[in-house]
Structure 1
Amino acid sequence: SGGDRAETLVARLYADTGRAHVVGITGAPGSGKSTLVRALARVARARGRTVGILAVDPSSPFSGGAILGDRIRMNDLTLDPGVFIRSMATRGALGGLCRAAADGIDVLDASGRGLILVETVGVGQDEVDVMRVAHTVVVVSVPGLGDDVQALKAGILEIADLHVVNKADREGADRTIAELRAMLTLMPAAEEAWTPPVLGASAAREEGVEAIADALEAHLASMKTSGELDRRRRRMVAARVLRTAQGLVAARLLRPEALEVPGGETTTLLDRVMRRELAPHACARALLTRMGERTPDV
């Protein structure tokens, strides 16, 4: 199947990964993430770096495919052999990142791209999956951030290594920057020595983008010095392995034979739950126990 072929390909490439700096770009819809990604790619190319862009688009409700708006907005980059752009559909995935995003990052990494920019659909209270695939997280805001408490609830401060207030030529930009900096002072001290900067930019005019690129390089250097890069990589690997295992377990449990009751009975475990003979938790444990008995040791 296509999934099996993809798994085989990633397994072959995996030994050649681990060299790229993966940067996640997230923020509310309309904050100009795609424009910022395009501008950062242009700066990186001017500095001699190769770039991979993974743009996670919303899925079409009809076809399930990506709308591909990001690729259209980055059309001028497609003629540059040093830039590779791939749009991927979310296919309904929570967190703004599709399941195949990590595999896509591996392919770009193995191909020798030094900088990989991952743009997510958006950010919210539960949409912080970008932390699981990126070494550096950039949160993009716009003037008029709104209620400070709501911003805290959205988890924006917790996930950001760098804040960018885009469209900084608009009225209220200075206030938004000041509010973000003030809120950062309320955050508990992190183990990492890095303090997330708040930078203003106008990506459409390519103003302030050089400073953002400098901050990304400074964050990578800081993580290497402090050992945070290795710690993050370990957390990312652990999260990916766990998520993959959850997917494999779910796929096996969804097979009809997994729900059959031993002894040739026509009833299933779900039937027993429906008749209130078996509690849902007990059913789940029975399924896991049975699957463990059938799974050979690695």
Structure 2
Amino acid sequence: MADVATLVEQAREGRPRAVARLISLVEGASPQLREVMAALAPLTGGAYVVGLTGSPGVGKSTSTSAMVTAYRKAGKRVGVLAVDPSSPFSGGALLGDRVRMSEHASDPGVYIRSMATRGHLGGLAWAAPQAIRVLDAAGCEVIVVETVGVGQSEVEIAAQADTCVVLLAPGMGDGIQAAKAGILEIGDVYVVNKADRDGADATARELNHMLGLGESRGPGEWRPPIVKTVAARGEGIDEVLEALEKHRAWMDERGVLAERRRIRAAHEIETIAITALRARLADLRGDVRLSALAARVTGGELDPYAAADELVAGLTGL
């Protein structure tokens, strides 16, 4: 068994192996997970979490790499969680963003980790919140969470990020896809990447029009900016970082950032509690209590909702 206290101390010193081991304990739902989270709790809260999302092919990994370069030039330590599809055979991440961001591999101020979704619908690994906490405690000032581009379920990244960046590209039908996926509601900053292609200006205009259609913002409320980039050449990335800083300042000023983080913590607590309850319910298969309730339902003595209430009450004491 790993010495959690030593691992946390080494992670605080920026040792990548310790960070990797802690995230592996998280991903593997280790019996030591509770000990890890208890040790990390007082060390977190300093990192700024940026979610990066968009349809496949818009250049998420290239944009992430360019943003990391810009943040490193500014002297910030950066963590990247690249959430990839799972292999149906091993359960591991398929795409391997660490390969695509190899230019940062030798930089001690950057930590890149690919995580598998393991079939999780929202495109975000279930362990991502805890992994974010590990990187936060390890001293990363900015954490970029790049999600698998699954389209319709992409909105889950909004629940994990302080600021959500939505990437689009010309010629990919992204305007229609944006409306379908509901990402017009989650984006804090919109980026039209591959802006050297034909149709980039039209994509930006269409996006601006669609944002305007759904607008019901009062005075002083945040209006998501639209930034055009060519991430492969690093063009427009400074403007993206400037937009992110403006959004962060706006949130700080109005208490929005603290509220987002509170909601995020509530969602995480709820997920952990529901997972624990599901595990307890799974243990009931073959249990006499469940069999007895099933017999009463089939006998017409009890309806299934009342039976479920009785079962929950027996499990929780409520």
Same fold (TM over 0.5): yes
Counterpart-to-counterpart distance in 1, 2:149 and 2:304: 34
Unaligned runs of 5+ in 1: none
Once the two structures are TM-superposed, the CA of residue 123 in structure 1 deviates from its matched residue by 4.9
1:121 to 148, 168, 179: 148
1:173-192 equivalence runs, <5 A: 173-190=200-217
SS state at 2:165 partner: strand
% identical aligned pairs: 49
Counterpart-to-counterpart distance in 1, 2:276 and 2:109: 36
Give the letter aligned to residue 211 of structure 1: E
144-153 or 66-75, larger mean C-alpha shift: 144-153
Counterpart-to-counterpart distance in 1, 2:71 and 2:287: 53
Once the two structures are TM-superposed, the CA of residue 287 in structure 1 deviates from its matched residue by 2.1
Q: CA 1:55–1:275 in 2, change beyond 3 Å: closer, same or farther? A: farther
* Contact 1:90-1:97 within 8 A present in 2 as well: yes
1:84 to 111, 134, 147: 111
Q: Give the equivalent residue in structure 2 for 1:228.
A: 256
Give the letter aligned to residue 195 of structure 2: A
* Contact 1:123-1:154 within 8 A present in 2 as well: no
Once the two structures are TM-superposed, the CA of residue 2 in structure 1 deviates from its matched residue by 4.6
Counterpart-to-counterpart distance in 2, 1:39 and 1:268: 61
Once the two structures are TM-superposed, the CA of residue 233 in structure 1 deviates from its matched residue by 1.2
TM-score by length of 1: 0.90
Tell me how many residue pairs correspond in the alignment. Answer: 290
* Contact 2:54-2:154 within 8 A present in 1 as well: no
Give the letter aligned to residue 132 of structure 2: I
Unaligned runs of 5+ in 2: 1-27
Counterpart-to-counterpart distance in 2, 1:276 and 1:56: 48
Q: Give the equivalent residue in structure 2 for 1:156.
A: 183
SS state at 1:282 partner: helix
Q: Give the equivalent residue in structure 1 for 2:49.
A: 22
Counterpart-to-counterpart distance in 1, 2:307 and 2:55: 40
Counterpart-to-counterpart distance in 2, 1:258 and 1:285: 19
Counterpart-to-counterpart distance in 1, 2:261 and 2:286: 35
Counterpart-to-counterpart distance in 2, 1:66 and 1:273: 44
* Contact 1:26-1:123 within 8 A present in 2 as well: no
Counterpart-to-counterpart distance in 2, 1:30 and 1:147: 11
Give the letter aligned to residue 9 of structure 1: V
Once the two structures are TM-superposed, the CA of residue 243 in structure 1 deviates from its matched residue by 1.4
Q: Give the equivalent residue in structure 1 for 2:8.
A: none
Q: Give the equivalent residue in structure 1 for 2:243.
A: 215
Once the two structures are TM-superposed, the CA of residue 286 in structure 1 deviates from its matched residue by 2.4
Counterpart-to-counterpart distance in 1, 2:111 and 2:176: 39
1:286 has 2:313 as partner: no
* Contact 1:259-1:287 within 8 A present in 2 as well: no
1:4 to 31, 35, 43: 31
Give the letter aligned to residue 230 of structure 2: S
Give the letter aligned to residue 117 of structure 1: V
Counterpart-to-counterpart distance in 2, 1:181 and 1:11: 44
1:169 to 196, 200, 216: 196
Once the two structures are TM-superposed, the CA of residue 43 in structure 1 deviates from its matched residue by 0.2
107-116 or 284-293, larger mean C-alpha shift: 284-293
Once the two structures are TM-superposed, the CA of residue 162 in structure 1 deviates from its matched residue by 0.4
Q: CA 1:46–1:242 in 2, change beyond 3 Å: closer, same or farther? A: same
Once the two structures are TM-superposed, the CA of residue 30 in structure 1 deviates from its matched residue by 1.1
Counterpart-to-counterpart distance in 2, 1:27 and 1:81: 28
Once the two structures are TM-superposed, the CA of residue 135 in structure 1 deviates from its matched residue by 0.3
SS state at 1:96 partner: coil
2:273 to 245, 251, 271: 245
Q: Give the equivalent residue in structure 2 for 1:67.
A: 94
* Contact 2:118-2:125 within 8 A present in 1 as well: yes
Give the letter aligned to residue 220 of structure 1: R
Residues 174-226 of structure 1 show CA distances to partners (whole Å, capped at 9, x for unaligned) of 10001111111112334672210011111111111111011111111111011
Counterpart-to-counterpart distance in 1, 2:175 and 2:285: 51
Counterpart-to-counterpart distance in 1, 2:217 and 2:88: 41
Give the letter aligned to residue 228 of structure 2: G
TM-score by length of 2: 0.85
Q: CA 1:279–1:205 in 2, change beyond 3 Å: closer, same or farther? A: farther
Counterpart-to-counterpart distance in 1, 2:88 and 2:207: 35
Q: CA 1:276–1:102 in 2, change beyond 3 Å: closer, same or farther? A: farther
Give the letter aligned to residue 119 of structure 1: E
SS state at 2:30 partner: helix
Q: Give the equivalent residue in structure 2 for 1:108.
A: 135
* Contact 2:168-2:174 within 8 A present in 1 as well: no
Aligned residues: CA RMSD: 2.2
Counterpart-to-counterpart distance in 2, 1:276 and 1:173: 64
SS state at 2:49 partner: strand
